Structure 1
Amino acid sequence: MNGLIVTPTQILAGVGVLLVSFWVWRAGSRRAKAAAEAARSGARLVSLAGRVLFNAGLIVAVQWVVIAHAGSGWLLLAVLGLPALFAAYALTRAMTVTTVDTSKRGGRR
């Protein structure tokens, strides 16, 4: 024999240390994942706001050019009416409450 003696208490202590180490590692991993998701959602909000402002500026610029150069009546109607239709559609969709009706399968009532 090589003279290495391990008692059952030492084995249990080693397994306990491994379990605690795994638990700490997993908790840290979850915390890091939650922080990364929070950073991503914040970036998405800023990105969305930037795109909305850019598109609004683009629409205003086109409308200003048409109004300033006194276009025809139909062109003025199209330039002012088309963005209004898109805005009305987006607002209607955003303010409409929808529900998801799921069918109950499996006999649970």
Structure 2
Amino acid sequence: MSGLTLTPTQILAGVGVLVVLLWVWRAGARRAKAAAEKTRSGARLVSLAGRVLFNAGLIVAVQWVVISHPSSSWLRLAVLGLPALFASHALTRAMTVTTVDTSKRGGRR
């Protein structure tokens, strides 16, 4: 019976090759994940900008119709005031600084 005989050097070299292959595979996976996240964040920004522009155009169109056709002053106040309230709410939330103070005592994360 002639079995497979390997020297300790050959076994160590084989294990080393497996470790290097695993390391290269994981590095490639990390790089691919980072590239995908970068693409997603860019797409989110474009999507957000598109939605903001569409909603702004919709608000301007409704305001233009109400202002160009004289009607009640309450309707005009609602059409001009309601978007101003939403805009002020969004700006206030965006400019408000909030912090979460956590204690690092106790050893728990």
TM-score of the aligned structures, taking structure 1 as reference length:
0.92
Distance 1:12 1:92, change over 3 A: same
Counterpart of 1:14?
14
Residue type of the alignment partner of 1:6 = L
Q: CA deviation at 1:107?
A: 7.5
Local SS of the residue matching 1:71:
coil
Percent identity for Structure 1 against Structure 2: 85
Cα displacement string for residues 42-98 of structure 1 (whole angstroms, at most 9, x for unaligned residues): 000000000000000000000001011112111001000000010011001101111
Q: CA deviation at 1:102?
A: 2.5
Q: Distance in 2 between matches of 1:107 and 1:9?
A: 44
Local SS of the residue matching 2:2:
coil
Counterpart of 1:86?
86
Q: CA deviation at 1:106?
A: 1.8
Q: Distance in 2 between matches of 1:103 and 1:41?
A: 31
Counterpart of 2:23?
23
Q: Distance in 2 between matches of 1:101 and 1:28?
A: 36
For structure 2, list consecutive stretches of 5 or more residues without a partner in the other structure. none
Local SS of the residue matching 2:29:
helix
Distance 1:97 1:66, change over 3 A: same
**Runs of 4+ displaced beyond 6 Å:** none
Distance 1:3 1:106, change over 3 A: closer
Counterpart of 2:71?
71
Q: Distance in 2 between matches of 1:33 and 1:43?
A: 15
Q: How many residues align?
A: 108
Counterpart of 2:47?
47
TM-score of the aligned structures, taking structure 2 as reference length:
0.92
